[in-house]
Structure 1
Amino acid sequence: MLRGFSRRAFLGGAVSAVAGVAFAEAPTVSPRPGQRPEALGGAAPRLAALAAPSAEDLIAEARLGGEVSFAVADARTGVVLESHGADLGLPPASVTKAVTALYGLSTLGPDFRFRTQLVATGPVQAGKVQGDLILVGTGDPLLDTDALSAMVARLKAAGVSGVTGGFRVFAGMLPYMREIDPEQPDHVGYNPAVSGVNLNFNRVHFEWKRATNGWAVAMDARSDTLRPAVSMAKMSVVSRDLPTYTYREAQGGVDEWTVASTALGNAGSRWLPVRRPDLYAGEVMQVLAAAQGIRLPKIEAIAAMPSGTVLVQHESAPLSAIVREMLKYSTNLTAEVIGLTASATRGVPVTRLDASAQAMNDWMQDGFGAAGARFVDHSGLGGGSRISAADMVRMLIKAGPGGVLHGHLKEVVPQDEEGKTLSDARYSIQAKTGTLNFVSTLAGYVTGADGALLAFAIFTGDTARRARIAPEDMERPDGARAWSRRSRLLQHRLINRWAGLYGV
């Protein structure tokens, strides 16, 4: 069922007729003053808005199949302006990251920093650690090869040239997950492992070049300035057509890959996921240390952290900056680390990702009345998550226009009725996008030139069609890209409709 009314009527005195159409716990403030004629650009745009296609017509024209759910409300009063299937739970995809962002910021604070340390179990004498050197992480999702290199340089400056014991890594500050979503293909870089030590988003760089006999391949942990080779990820080129990639975990946590020769051109590269990020980070640090004259033995993972002295400490950027980057680039690892860390800080004993997601569900219900929220992770990569447009908008309203979440959401470029950039738009969009196969979502705020603010959520999903995708087709199923384009066009056509009707 579609329900809606013009903002002009609402602001002109029809409040009593629709006072019940508001989300629970909406801010108790009065509506804005009566709309000025120029708010909609004059009489002609007002008439055009009244003649615009209905939301139901726009949905029909999109030809998506499945389900479409949306809600839009005055962000200051909480009054619902229009909705369609708003109580229907659909997969939120990466819109989940907006929930995780607020969950993390409200729990940890915007100034929270992740720490990565080099800890010695004994004193440094004659240039050597008398005991073990331990790489200890708290989950920093932005740790990269350059940061590890800087830590090695500081270790050298402290006079360390080696150890008498072992070189170990402790990643147990966060639970280990081999992958975020087991339904994804093995080779996609956006589905890496998660642990207390993460490096380069837990991805390894695979590069190939045509050689005299076949191809030359390289696996490295490259950054902006360095390219240390690694041996814990190996690649073999195999003469076949399909599958493009195969994977198996060999003894010692080594990732063994094969790639079909017919899939390789003369040269190219891609990032592949790492399944043992602790061993990956340890090997990279060992290589970097050797380059600076520090001899470290082969890395060994440990399950318990012994006492020791911190020799070197690297601090991440503040959480506020990490969240802003996560929402801009939609990095799944970052979302999972933030969510797991927030749940642990709240005292939730999380040993699995779904347990941490349940803690976020409870937080959503307690804080926002979102009884129907059912997240299975913190990134939205898993297709089993569900939330309604009504619950999402309720959270956006209570979080507040101009609040901490609003300030971290990315700018989404407005588009016209054909999907082209709307250069003369009189409004801006601050929102989070989300995409899975046959799922496309958008939620956030629309800000008008005169200060009007809408909170909205649009969820589209053909879950039946998604369920029929064969595992080998998950990366690029037939029809998914065209479907997503039609969904994104619908999202912007709905926003344009609201901009005309409700004066933003």
Structure 2
Amino acid sequence: MDGVSRRRILGGMAAGLAWGFGGPVLAEAPLRSPRPAARFAGVVRAAGPAAVPADDLIRAASLGGEVGYVVADARTGSILEARAGDRPMPPASTLKVITSLYALEHLGAGYRFPTRLVATGPVAGGKVQGDLILAGGGDPTLTTDDLGDMAAALKGRGVAGVTGRFLVWGGALPYLEAIDESQPAWLGYNPAVSGLNLNYNRVNFVWKRAGKGYEVGMDARAERFAPPVYSARVSVSDRDLPVYSYRRGKVEEWTVARKALGKGGSRWLPVRRPELYAGDVFQTLARAAGIPLPAPEVAGGLPGGTLLAERASAELPVILRDMMKYSTNMTAEAVGMAASARRGVGSHAGSARAMTAWLAERTGSAARLADHSGLAGASRIAPEAMVRALVTLGPKAGLRGLLKEFAFRDEAGRKVRGGPVTVEAKTGTLNFVSTLAGYVRAPGGTDLAFAIFTGDVARRDSIPDSQKEDAPGVGAWVKRSKRLQQQLIERWATVYGA
């Protein structure tokens, strides 16, 4: 497959990652749970004289909007301190904590997502006597390299072609054209979701100057392979705005404003037809392996047949740990919908409702969840409900081991290592929303569970679409919020540590 290696095709250009800001969507789940949510036991302890009052820290942060938090004893659930703890607020990506707990309970820690190559007829004379199907099992982590390995495995079975069609099937999960439809079309962290996903359903757009114009292209690069993509294409337009435009058709059509390109670079753009994208890439890889295939067609259902090759994902905790680390929205949506599929739920909106109901059943907490990733700004959950899940469901699920260690920083923004306080937590960021939830091990071995939600929703809702990717003032606002989060944790470690 040297013909489609990274060294040969559009090599040397850095591939970017982008996860981030979301907009509001309509939520369909109720804010109130079917039964009253029981309060944690315990009373709020008074702060020691050396601790700076929390209200002083909040005033100094000057965030506007709302600040709510709860900190509790992680072993008993006793609330130690709270501010607006019962006020529902946007959780941003801390919602991935709830999704992880939901997925682990319904799928199990040993669950692996399968991707299969199935033949509807026997292999005779080096050819499949019938159709070949690339059948997705909902794997959110499938890469171009994995498809390259599957093409090699197909060749190892003696397959050199097919007499019928090449089909792609993504019906293992309900199709979702975009995680949050209120987002601008070009944001790579807001792709489609399907039962057949590839490269987090993103295509790599690359460009470089060539004389007075540009050479542009799209590829599906991974570590070992970077085949060109034919199911999407891009052209340069002489305009100022918008920077990108998109039109869905048989081929996904992108245009980009010339003035936005500079000398050269690359950027991930979202894919809206993931099954055809995966089929397009596999067709190229198979051809390089000596297996010519016809153009991919979407299968309406999964025909029966003989399994020729299979790729299993890593076990679910590994997937969730990476999701927590990189905050991959598509992973959250795929694992959340896969968990709901086990409950017989067949739509994304229905899956969000099912996860909301499950949270109420398991913890007694009310919430209103619009998705599984937190990208939808319409989701609402109170800090107390998040802490309740951390305390009551987190230990059995091994949640702490999935979370990323929180880095403390000095006044200059440099990471401080080797301090007396350890924090494992999940961050969340939307425009003018910054959240943090997880666990603190304070001096003396005291274990705390906490959630801090900050958000200026009115300011967020006022941002025009053209500025949602890089809204003015967001960077400074988030920096102040994160500083406040650290100060609150330091305060709690001082007050409640042994």
Asked if TM exceeds 0.5, the reply is yes
Find the aligned partners of 2:412 and 2:57 in 1 and give their Cα distance: 13
For the pair shown, which has the larger CA radius of gyration, 1 or 2? 1
1:3 maps to none
Find the aligned partners of 1:485 and 1:457 in 2 and give their Cα distance: 18
Q: Within the alignment, does 1:501 sit opposite 2:495 as a pair?
A: yes
2:168 maps to 169
Structure 2 residue aligned with 1:473, among 467, 482, 496? 467
2:67 maps to 68
Does the 8 Å contact 1:131/1:166 carry over to 2?
yes
Q: Secondary structure at the match of 1:306?
A: coil
Q: CA deviation at 1:489?
A: 0.5
1:206 maps to 205
Structure 1 residue aligned with 2:359, among 364, 372, 382? 364
Does the 8 Å contact 1:132/1:165 carry over to 2?
yes
Q: Within the alignment, does 1:460 sit opposite 2:454 as a pair?
A: yes
Q: CA deviation at 1:192?
A: 0.5
Q: CA deviation at 1:379?
A: 0.2
Does the 8 Å contact 1:137/1:170 carry over to 2?
yes
Find the aligned partners of 1:25 and 1:117 in 2 and give their Cα distance: 47
Q: Which amino acid aligns with 1:274?
A: V
Find the aligned partners of 2:56 and 2:40 in 1 and give their Cα distance: 30
Structure 1 residue aligned with 2:478, among 473, 478, 484? 484
2:28 maps to none
Q: Which amino acid aligns with 2:364?
A: G
Distance change (3 Å), C-alpha of 1:27 and 1:407: farther
Distance change (3 Å), C-alpha of 1:300 and 1:190: same
Q: CA deviation at 1:397?
A: 0.9
Q: Within the alignment, does 1:288 sit opposite 2:282 as a pair?
A: no
Does the 8 Å contact 1:72/1:454 carry over to 2?
yes
Does the 8 Å contact 2:422/2:442 carry over to 1?
yes
Q: Secondary structure at the match of 1:432?
A: strand
Q: CA deviation at 1:423?
A: 3.2
Find the aligned partners of 2:206 and 2:416 in 1 and give their Cα distance: 39
Does the 8 Å contact 1:75/1:400 carry over to 2?
no
Structure 2 residue aligned with 1:346, among 343, 365, 377? 343
Task: Deviation per CA, 1:300-346: give whole Å up to 9, x if none.
Answer: 00111111111111100000100110011100010000000000112
Q: CA deviation at 1:67?
A: 0.4
Find the aligned partners of 2:99 and 2:396 in 1 and give their Cα distance: 18
Q: Within the alignment, does 1:314 sit opposite 2:344 as a pair?
A: no
Q: Secondary structure at the match of 2:106?
A: helix
Does the 8 Å contact 1:128/1:164 carry over to 2?
yes
Find the aligned partners of 1:231 and 1:403 in 2 and give their Cα distance: 42
Q: Within the alignment, does 1:273 sit opposite 2:270 as a pair?
A: yes
Q: CA deviation at 1:424?
A: 4.8
Q: Which amino acid aligns with 1:441?
A: T
Q: Secondary structure at the match of 2:172?
A: coil
Find the aligned partners of 1:478 and 1:269 in 2 and give their Cα distance: 24
Q: Which amino acid aligns with 2:497?
A: G
1:154 maps to 153
Distance change (3 Å), C-alpha of 1:502 and 1:73: same
Q: Secondary structure at the match of 1:324?
A: helix
1:12 maps to none
Does the 8 Å contact 1:416/1:493 carry over to 2?
no
Q: Structure 1 length as normaliser, TM-score?
A: 0.89
Q: Structure 2 length as normaliser, TM-score?
A: 0.90
Q: Secondary structure at the match of 1:476?
A: coil
Q: Within the alignment, does 1:355 sit opposite 2:354 as a pair?
A: no
Distance change (3 Å), C-alpha of 1:329 and 1:305: same
Find the aligned partners of 1:450 and 1:311 in 2 and give their Cα distance: 56
Find the aligned partners of 1:446 and 1:423 in 2 and give their Cα distance: 15
Find the aligned partners of 2:40 and 2:392 in 1 and give their Cα distance: 7
Find the aligned partners of 2:281 and 2:79 in 1 and give their Cα distance: 53
Q: CA deviation at 1:212?
A: 1.4
Distance change (3 Å), C-alpha of 1:59 and 1:402: farther
Distance change (3 Å), C-alpha of 1:498 and 1:401: farther
Q: CA deviation at 1:420?
A: 4.1
Does the 8 Å contact 2:443/2:493 carry over to 1?
no
Find the aligned partners of 2:383 and 2:100 in 1 and give their Cα distance: 18
Q: CA deviation at 1:421?
A: 2.8
1:84 maps to 83
Q: CA deviation at 1:404?
A: 1.1
Does the 8 Å contact 2:404/2:425 carry over to 1?
yes
Q: Which amino acid aligns with 2:349?
A: D
Q: Secondary structure at the match of 1:269?
A: strand
Task: Deviation per CA, 1:187-237: give whole Å up to 9, x if none.
Answer: 111000000000000000011010013000110001111110011111111
Q: Which runs of 5+ in 1 are unaligned?
A: 1-22, 29-46
1:428 maps to 422
Find the aligned partners of 2:472 and 2:402 in 1 and give their Cα distance: 34
Q: CA deviation at 1:401?
A: 4.7
Does the 8 Å contact 1:234/1:255 carry over to 2?
yes
Q: Within the alignment, does 1:375 sit opposite 2:369 as a pair?
A: yes
2:403 maps to 409
2:21 maps to none
Task: Deviation per CA, 1:252-294: give whole Å up to 9, x if none.
Answer: 2x11111111111111111000110100000100000111110
Q: CA deviation at 1:448?
A: 2.4
Structure number with greater CO (CA < 8 Å, separation at least 6) is 2
Aligned-residue RMSD, C-alpha:
1.7
Distance change (3 Å), C-alpha of 1:417 and 1:57: farther
Find the aligned partners of 2:221 and 2:378 in 1 and give their Cα distance: 34
Q: Which runs of 5+ in 2 are unaligned?
A: 1-36
Find the aligned partners of 1:420 and 1:377 in 2 and give their Cα distance: 34
Does the 8 Å contact 2:116/2:309 carry over to 1?
yes
Does the 8 Å contact 2:443/2:497 carry over to 1?
no
Match runs of 1:180-191 below 5 Å: 180-191=179-190
Q: CA deviation at 1:450?
A: 2.8
Q: Secondary structure at the match of 1:433?
A: strand
Q: CA deviation at 1:414?
A: 2.2
Q: CA deviation at 1:415?
A: 3.1
Q: Which amino acid aligns with 1:298?
A: A
Find the aligned partners of 2:232 and 2:416 in 1 and give their Cα distance: 46
Does the 8 Å contact 1:416/1:496 carry over to 2?
no
